[in-house]
Structure 1
């Protein structure tokens, strides 16, 4: 594959941008080599500046659930931007978005728009602390909730990729307020709440872990956390930035039948534009300024262009049968990859929910963060590059989930599995 223009751009970028990228995983440090630079995208495909085409299983890290550059989304953006890009005063589309979110997600009786998933999770934690009068929060090893100070303790995703389990710049006093648990461990959660429950403001969790690849909750685990939080007066916060509107229309909380106190969203509700949101029970959200004393603000929150893109995307995914088709495509992909690995004699397993999957170079099952870390990263890195050479773009880290969109049809799935058969043959030796 040609990469002259991408190489030139990366060389220029490294002199001006830390690591040459504006988000760490993009730098390919985990998998080796240099990143390609995108020129455009359409449907299930990315096209780079050197003219190479890739079947894309990153999807801008989740929001492109209907595929890239969907005409309905682009039309909505074009119509809206003709009236201006930002107003700094309320606009009608943010009200429509709030109506859409609260109608789709019953646990969210009120919602506040922000500009990123990180901003949403930071705000939700502030609400939890302000509403309960407590300071400690609980998070899970391998879960990533953005780069807020409280969250960079035993985090997943890019932090794991770069080998930085705790980040310099996080004050020890703040880190001490963050308690961590192993995901899917019932007894550890019970023990922690028995010891410190009266001090815990909230527990935040990716209900399906998407930042240690893709780990699903054991049967009854999320229900157990709900019961513990209720018993000890702590707030249960679902980080659905990845899973919201993807794994089911109502997100993971709808898929598993759990009612969190607060939820955070992003990705899909922006349709590819920068966006985030947090919402929950009315009595909690009513404490956010200006209704209440818990302060949070943002100049670009509820941006009309982002709202237009997100509303158009939500219209697409509310089409009857959308998630059933997404589930079919995800299973077809994962079943095909597992069969190809089995034929090559390579230890390999997948995890999957509608529109989201994980790849592990080890025998299954994978149910914990320790299981995920036992995957063979060197073999994944070789597989990643072999697939990239064959026009398939996977997340450039063994600790990131993959995403399927409605634009990934039978042809794209078949091409991916065929590429994987060749890639498995290469890395077998």
Structure 2
């Protein structure tokens, strides 16, 4: 019998000392309702909560755990590194090895700077683009989430969409005015913004495959059109690959989609799930970062040895065994085939979006190509679906506005069970 009594007690206790009882808003289950489950441990494809329930995990710590939880080689590397200390605030050889590894895998990255989170990476990339171009305005896309820095909280997706927040207190009008927004997959809208703000746009930042309004795939020609526009207008083109990097391909979305970015940002994937991030790109632009240039960025924990050794071990495993990414892609394709075949026979409006090992289910008859179309889905139906699967041992992202992330520890039996439970759920409505 499914029971989360201990989780509910811990949540009530957490609310006494932590805002909302959580340290990241989507964890509060405010969109889907109910109390969040508190996780005790994880192994491979499974999460285990404090009440002893086991869940098939389709979040993978929001993307980075491509090979599953507690991957033995990563755990061993962290343990060995920790014996030598957890932080130095000084250079280590491992930072250089990590940088060299990423540069060897990713197109258009000549130099890379380690930071402590994806938010910090995106924030720093924007500052760098402004310093490099001498311009102030940036263009982002409705529903794309690049962290919680002020510039990015204008029409962002993910947690803001989940909580229904449209305008964020604390973000000044001046900052908001320097952030221009356009619908995802709408090149004409971007061209109009650039024309209206001629020679004032420093950067266009985008999730090349969006993951914060579900899995949203770029239309053919959309990203190349942005690339051409940036080249023509002297705008820095930034790929936010906090979710896409090393998951869609060894070289990330640039490799998979065949598009060259000027700067790329990464998050927890380069630390195998530990708190870390990075931004990198073309030498001409990256050379403007201190101490080479005047664009200042710093961080005591940048290049933390535990995060570096964890990420180096994971990325080396992927690079040395390229079939691993192909395998997790096949598993995701198996899930896509199972869900679409089953849903197509139920007479319920739906769309399943999938690319690589990212996938999302939307209960809507409208193709989901941007934030506006994602907002048309039946959120109430998704919430019931979420709780049905949760109570039967499947852990989905607790929001209709999030992509699912598969990991290679998932078995085909796990996937078939998920499809069968979806079938069982639809029989109840």
The 5 Å alignment of 1:38-77 reads: 38-77=39-78
Aligned twin of 2:363: 361
Q: Does 1:424 align with 2:426?
A: yes
Q: CA deviation at 1:394?
A: 0.4
Aligned twin of 2:179: 178
Q: Does 1:214 align with 2:209?
A: no
- Structure 2 gap ranges (5+): none
Aligned twin of 1:104: 105
Equivalent residues of 1:347, 1:363 under 8 A apart: yes
The 5 Å alignment of 1:267-286 reads: 267-286=268-287
Question: Cα deviation per residue 1:67-125 (whole Å; 9 max; x = unaligned)?
Answer: 00010110111111111000110011111110011111121100000000000000000
Aligned twin of 1:3: 4
Q: Does 1:266 align with 2:267?
A: yes
Note the aligned Cα RMSD (angstroms): 0.9
For 1:67 and 1:414, how far apart are their aligned partners in 2?
18
The 5 Å alignment of 1:293-332 reads: 293-318=294-319, 319-332=321-334
Question: Cα deviation per residue 1:121-176 (whole Å; 9 max; x = unaligned)?
Answer: 00000000000000000000000000000000000000010011221100111110
The 5 Å alignment of 1:12-23 reads: 12-23=13-24
For 2:145 and 2:369, how far apart are their aligned partners in 1?
17
The 5 Å alignment of 1:99-178 reads: 99-178=100-179
Equivalent residues of 2:246, 2:252 under 8 A apart: yes
Q: 1:336 aligns with which of 320, 335, 338?
A: 338
Q: CA deviation at 1:212?
A: 0.7
Aligned twin of 2:380: 378
For 2:353 and 2:278, how far apart are their aligned partners in 1?
27
Aligned twin of 2:252: 251
3-state SS, counterpart of residue 255 of structure 1: helix
For 2:373 and 2:364, how far apart are their aligned partners in 1?
9
TM-score (norm 2): 0.98
Equivalent residues of 1:155, 1:166 under 8 A apart: no
For 1:66 and 1:127, how far apart are their aligned partners in 2?
33
For 2:43 and 2:257, how far apart are their aligned partners in 1?
33
3-state SS, counterpart of residue 197 of structure 1: coil
Q: 2:354 aligns with which of 332, 352, 355?
A: 352
For 1:330 and 1:95, how far apart are their aligned partners in 2?
34
3-state SS, counterpart of residue 239 of structure 2: strand
Q: Does 1:289 align with 2:290?
A: yes
For 1:263 and 1:293, how far apart are their aligned partners in 2?
20
Q: CA deviation at 1:364?
A: 4.9
Q: CA deviation at 1:409?
A: 1.6
For 2:183 and 2:8, how far apart are their aligned partners in 1?
40
Equivalent residues of 2:107, 2:255 under 8 A apart: no
3-state SS, counterpart of residue 278 of structure 2: strand
Aligned twin of 1:231: 232
For 2:260 and 2:18, how far apart are their aligned partners in 1?
42
Equivalent residues of 1:340, 1:424 under 8 A apart: no
For 1:93 and 1:277, how far apart are their aligned partners in 2?
15
For 2:331 and 2:271, how far apart are their aligned partners in 1?
23
Question: Cα deviation per residue 1:348-393 (whole Å; 9 max; x = unaligned)?
Answer: 2211111111110012532222111111100000000001011000
Aligned twin of 1:415: 417
Equivalent residues of 2:352, 2:361 under 8 A apart: yes
Equivalent residues of 1:197, 1:234 under 8 A apart: no
Count of aligned residue pairs for this structure pair: 427
For 1:248 and 1:424, how far apart are their aligned partners in 2?
34
For 1:370 and 1:338, how far apart are their aligned partners in 2?
23
Shift of the 230–197 alpha-carbon distance from structure 1 to 2, 3 Å rule, reads: farther
Bigger shift: residues 403-412 or 40-49:
403-412
Equivalent residues of 1:358, 1:401 under 8 A apart: yes
Aligned twin of 1:398: 400
Aligned twin of 1:89: 90
TM-score (norm 1): 0.98
For 1:197 and 1:79, how far apart are their aligned partners in 2?
53
